[in-house]
Structure 1
Amino acid sequence: MRLVLRGVSALAYWLSAYDIDEQRKGDRKVLYDCIPTKQSLDYLGKQLPQLKEPYHLLVPSWIREKERCALATSRYRYAAGSFYQAENGLYAASPELCFVQLGKTVTTHELILYGSALCSSFAIDPHAAGGLGQRRPLATRRTMEQFLNQNAGLTGVASARLALPYLAENTASPPEIFLQMILGLPPHLGGYGLPRCHANYRLEPSARARHIAQRANLVPDCYWPEHRLALEYDSNAEHLTGRQATRDATKRLALEADGITVITVTTAQLRSPLAMEAVAHEVAQRCGVRLRQRDRRFPARHRDLYRRGWSLDELFAENWLAESSDAGAIPS
């Protein structure tokens, strides 16, 4: 028995994974004899309860569509490392291959959001505080680009290439990805076209700033080094205690003590196009740039971007998400 996850099912697996085990790589041979059966699908549901039906699976040749599945056929000669073993008998398309597969079925905004999540430093985990665990990024823009160059014949590569330059890396939550999309995407994609920032950029503070913050390093959510500008996302889910609020306040004071301008964005602001327009103007002013001339497509694409939002809940089984011990924890 063998099943191979593709597309949104592979994405849900990776976004809930805490690491990527290089020792569990597989090649195109994993596609042999991977025909879904009721027994194998039941096993999949038990081993990976975060996945929702229908399961998106890859098969080597055409078979009649099965219940509970969305099948895709492929005879492409995948290189080593294109698949990873998730559980015994269960494989998932690599983060890079998953990104390409998504290019065939999702919108540009979704592809940027999902690709950025694969390059993020968070894992969706209903049992973790705030609904998010910490991890190292599973992929980077560089590894994505290398895969695209090596697999130019795959369907979905063209869409993936268009989205690749706009992927955010090392973000710590879905709202942080959305924040970068609003500020950084070009106007024809509904963003304000501002200079790219660094997510969770590690700074070594001065002695004075260390004394204020009581920590050895400062890590702004978004940072423009050349302009000494930081943007902090003030997430409701992460600020439930006075201790956390105090920690964040001292972080801002420490950054300002080192001559760094700090802009704070709340969840309410992020949800408001009008409020984010004001934030974009402030960031542009601090960076010494003018907001780019808006493309005639901007209003419609901006609305599309907000309709998409930042929630990733649609990727996961509702029962699995409901296991959260912290109501409303996963940022949405």
Structure 2
Amino acid sequence: MPLSAPPNSFVAALKSELNATGPLDVLVSSANGKRNDQVTVSHVASRPLPAGSFRRTKFPSGAIACVCSPELVFLQLASTYTVDEAIYFGFALCSSYRIDAASKGGVAHREGADKPLTSARQLAAFLDAVPGMRGCAKARRALAFVKDGARSPMESALAMGYGLPTRLGGFNVGKVALNQAVRVTSGATSEGTRYATRIPDLTITARGKDGIERNVLLDYDADAVHATRAGLARDARRRNQLATIDSAAYISMSTDQALEYRSYADVAEQIRIALKRPRTPKVSLASSNPAAVERYEQANARRIEFWKKHVCFSDFRKLERF
């Protein structure tokens, strides 16, 4: 790690290659080497960092710089943002997508050598190596809810919204996994039933009030990706195939549903009923218990705030573009 910040000319060149706006953040090992201005904002590392904290990167211009590893980025973000925001960033760092303005819907799926930047397991290993470092405790709280494998920002938001506890603005309907393959019936031949593999966006699992474990498969049908004749026909075939699974209920959700709070909350209720889970907080809308009503209203307010920030295209969500 350098003692002092690099020259502004070098930082400005990197900003141009990264298409970044605003000052570029750099790490230095000495407070005397800090420089904060319109081009550069310096941060002093409070302690030695473990091997692998930086990646040597060559830019198209030929410039070479050491950039923070995804694991160190997660720690830095957790130290700056709230726990729910850190969870969202964790999903993005462990995802199978990347933001790409040239791709349909603004998101490109990582395939082949274009692998996820990191994983929840790698993030945990890094945090184990830096105990007591600034932001580490909050990063651990956030990491407890981070999942691998999201294929879009909306998948991350829905996984969080339906899986997180009430205190963080979620509906806590069950344990959520992303993009897990399931075997479905796709038709019949002269030799018998024909099967195929399908990958629903979310698989939500929970044990109901009767002690039986159940699953709900949830697909998010984004307008930008699915709203063509071919896309709609493909979605219909997919829904019909997934509906043949006896061990799981299937729910399909559109962009309009996700972006209208009542519909978004209704899907949470449908998932809860399919899983036979109790409503949380436990309260009747006609309850005469003022404390119970207040708990319900507070939980609903947190869920609305979460929905505005993470599911809708909020100012916070715009950060993923940079």
> TM-score, length-normalised on structure 2?
0.81
Q: Deviations over 1:232-268 (max 9, x none)?
A: 1011111232111111111111111233421111112
Q: Residue 152 of structure 1: SS of its match in structure 2? A: coil
User: Match for residue 262 of structure 1?
Assistant: 250
Partner Cα distance (1:246, 1:161) in 2: 43
Inter-CA distance 75–157: structure 2 relative to 1 (3 Å threshold)? closer
Q: Does 1:61 align with 2:30?
A: yes
Q: Residue 257 of structure 1: SS of its match in structure 2? A: coil
Task: Decide which of 272, 291, 296 is 2:260's aligned counterpart.
Answer: 272
Partner Cα distance (1:243, 1:252) in 2: 14
Partner Cα distance (1:192, 1:171) in 2: 19
* Structure whose residues are more often strand by fraction: 2
Partner Cα distance (1:86, 1:288) in 2: 50
User: Match for residue 270 of structure 2?
Assistant: 282
Inter-CA distance 42–64: structure 2 relative to 1 (3 Å threshold)? closer
Q: Residue 175 of structure 2: SS of its match in structure 1? A: coil
Deviation for aligned residue 1:34: 5.4
Q: Residue 290 of structure 1: SS of its match in structure 2? A: coil
Pairs within 5 Å for 1:312-327:
312-316=317-321
Unaligned residue ranges in structure 1 (runs of 5+): 1-30, 318-332
Structure number with larger C-alpha Rg: 2
User: Match for residue 321 of structure 1?
Assistant: none
Deviation for aligned residue 1:219: 0.5
Q: Residue 263 of structure 1: SS of its match in structure 2? A: strand
RMSD of aligned C-alpha atoms?
A: 2.4
User: Match for residue 100 of structure 1?
Assistant: 75
Q: Deviations over 1:177-231 (max 9, x none)?
A: 11111111111111111111221111233463899xx994200011136524211
Task: Decide which of 67, 84, 91 is 2:66's aligned counterpart.
Answer: 91
Q: Deviations over 1:38-95 (max 9, x none)?
A: 211222023222x322212212222231322222111521111111123242222111
Unaligned residue ranges in structure 2 (runs of 5+): 206-212, 283-294
Name the % identity. 29
Deviation for aligned residue 1:306: 2.4
Partner Cα distance (2:68, 2:300) in 1: 36
Q: Does 1:166 align with 2:145?
A: yes
User: Match for residue 23 of structure 1?
Assistant: none
User: Match for residue 173 of structure 2?
Assistant: 194
Q: Which shifted more, 135-144 or 122-131?
A: 135-144
> What letter is aligned with 1:242?
R
Partner Cα distance (1:306, 1:91) in 2: 36
User: Match for residue 27 of structure 1?
Assistant: none
